[in-house]
């Protein structure tokens, strides 16, 4: 797969199974390719992208993580914003 990244002009290639196990993989803007691989008769599916694509994904995941942490902290402190209709 490494030679395929050079041919396609990208930095990173993930096999199909690895890509399918990436949390929130829909946020990872990698393109799907069929690439030749040693010792395989048929091309393999690989998801390929740039380091910039990977960096954007990691930033988005960090935002999600930060939101979860702040929400969890609010829940533990009883400070969640719950509106009530008093009438």
Whether residue 6 lies inside any domain: the answer is: yes
Q: What is the mean pLDDT of residues 72-86?
A: 58
- How many structural domains is the chain composed of? 1
- Reply yes or no on whether the pLDDT at 83 is more than 60: no
Place 79 in a pLDDT band, splitting at 50, 70 and 90: low
Residue 87 counted as domain residue: no
pLDDT of residue 60: 94
**Confidence grade of residue 77 (pLDDT, cut at 50, 70, 90):** low
Residue 51 covered by a domain:
yes
pLDDT (0 to 100) of residue 74? 60
Question: pLDDT tens for residues 20-75?
Answer: 999 999 999 999 999 998 899 999 999 999 999 999 999 999 999 888 787 766 66
Distance in angstroms (rounded) separating the CA atoms of residues 7 and 2: 9
Q: Is residue 42 part of a domain?
A: yes
């Amino acid at each position: 797969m490494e030679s395929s990244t050079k041919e396609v002009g990208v930095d990173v290639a993930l096999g199909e199974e690895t890509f399918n196990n990436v949390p929130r993989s829909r946020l990872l803007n990698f393109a799907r390719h069929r690439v030749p691989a040693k010792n395989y008769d048929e091309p393999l599916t690989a998801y390929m992208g740039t380091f910039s694509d990977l960096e954007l994904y990691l930033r988005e995941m960090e935002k999600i993580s930060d939101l979860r942490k702040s929400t969890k902290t609010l829940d533990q402190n009883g400070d969640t914003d719950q509106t009530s209709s008093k009438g």
